[in-house]
Amino acid sequence: MSTLSEVNSPTSTDEPITTSEVKTTFSSEEIHKLLPHRYPFLLVDKIIDYVPGKKAVGIKNVTINEPQFTGHFPGRPLMPGVLIVEAMAQVGGIVMTQLPELEGGLFVFAGIDKVRFRRQVVPGDQLVLTVELLWIKQRRFGKMQARAEVDGQLAAEGELMFSLIN
C-alpha cells in the first residue's frame, strides 16, 4: 500500500518535500494506490479535499450501470444505504491509511453508530462524502464523523469506527 509521502514524492529523489507540496486532491489512479478496494466495490471516484490527519472529502458519481441497480430496485433504482455507508468509510480509509503512526495493515469496520438516511440517492446523483477524524485510541482504533450530501442536501450521516488489523 502506498503512503501519502510516496504518492506526494517528487519525481526527482534529490528534491525535499515542502509543506506547500502536500497533496490535497487524489485522482482515481492515486486512490487505487491507497485503498485495496476494486470494481465493483470501489465507491470513491476522487478526493477533492484532503487535510492530513483530519479530514477528506470525496466524490462518488452514481451511475445506472452499477451492478446493484439491476435488483435494487427494478423500475426504481435506489442506492442501497449500506453502499452509502461503505462509500463514506472508503473516504475515511484515505485519512486512516495516511496517518504515519498507523501505516500498513488493513482498516476494517469496528462499529457504526448514529447512522441516519435523510434522502434517497439515485442514478445521476453525485455524492459528496465528507469524513472527519474524531479520535484515535491505542494506535489501532479510530472514530470518524461522516456525511454524504447530494446537491447540498444531507443524504446520510453517522459515526464510523475503524480497527487496524495486520
Alpha helices in the chain (DSSP H): 4-8, 28-34, 81-97
Candidates 43, 128, 137; CA nearest to 99 is 137
Of 72, 119, 140, 143, which residue is the catalytic one?
Answer: 72
Class of domain 4-165: alpha beta
Domain boundaries of the chain, sorted by first residue: 4-165
Ordered mean pLDDT values, 10 residues apiece, the chain (166 residues): 43 44 91 94 98 97 97 96 98 92 83 98 98 93 97 98 90
pLDDT value at residue 114? 98
Task: Please say if 32 is a catalytic residue.
Answer: no
Q: Model-level pTM?
A: 0.86
